[in-house]
Amino acid sequence: MEGSKVPQSKPARKQQRRSLVTQQKLLDAAIEAFSENGFKGTSTRDIAERAGVHHPLITYHFKNKDQLWRAAADRIFDEFSEELARANAEHANGDSRSRMASMIRTYVRYAHRQPALHKVLVQEASYPNPRHDWLVETRLRPLFQPMIRDIGELQAAGIAPTGNPGLLYNMIRVCAGGLVALAQEIKGTSDIDLNSEKAIDELAELIIRVFLPGEPQVKA
């Protein structure tokens, strides 16, 4: 019929699915490689080998290493933002301490599931570069500024310790994600297995007790 859409052929749909699978393989491999070796220490050939795909497919899907790095960072932070938004929605009607405690638990658990969250940051923050600037402006500042404001409100309510709220938030952040990123070293020096769910839950609760020692005042 005139004007009707021609259904996509089965070979075309199959090719589209293969293309999506290849992109996901490349992103998985890129996240792993960039978190281990940083941008400078990672080659696209290494990523292709980790992904088990032909090297030219990287430029076909992502044009160059820089775009692949940004796509990998986007996936990490998109997933992280979704987890934080879900936690915030689930505790929207709770008190300020319970909301922040939920965010801390989410932070710790996501860092456990995706240690590249902090490893990539450490790699890119070690020297001035445009990728770090891009992360700060597009991902970190928009994500963290609301949390820093929340910390300030918790301090005003006597729930969180006094001091610079930005510094306090970053202390929480390093405890939440930085310790998980050092899981291998911590296991060797302290016999603590931060790859276990039990240790991760204990870490989250310790962070909450240390950084949120106060309790919300009950309204009369």
**pLDDT tens profile 156-171:** 999 999 999 999 999 9
Q: How confident is the model at residue 6 (pLDDT cuts 50, 70, 90)?
A: low
Q: How many CB atoms lie within 10 A of CB 18?
A: 10
Q: Which of 14-23, 106-115, 130-139, 191-200 is predicted with the least confidence, judged by mean pLDDT?
A: 14-23
**pLDDT tens profile 164-211:** 999 999 999 999 888 998 999 999 999 999 999 999 999 999 999 999
d(CA 42, CA 89): 38
d(CA 84, CA 198): 21
Give the chain's mean pLDDT: 91
Which domains, and CATH codes, for the chain? 70-211 (1.10.357.10)
Q: Does the pLDDT at position 142 exceed 50?
A: yes
Task: Find the mean pLDDT for residues 137-158.
Answer: 94
Distances (CA, A) of 72 to 15, 27, 121, 124: 22, 6, 12, 13
DSSP string, the chain: -TTPPPPPPHHHHHHHHHHHHHHHHHHHHHHHHHHHHTTTT--HHHHHHHHTS-THHHHHHHSSHHHHHHHHHHHHHHHHHHHHHHHHHHTTTS-HHHHHHHHHHHHHHHHHH-THHHHHHHHHHTS--HHHHHHIIIIIHHHHHHHHHHHHHHHHTTSS-SS-HHHHHHHHHIIIIIHHHTHHHHHHHH---TTSHHHHHHHHHHHHHHH--S-PPPP-
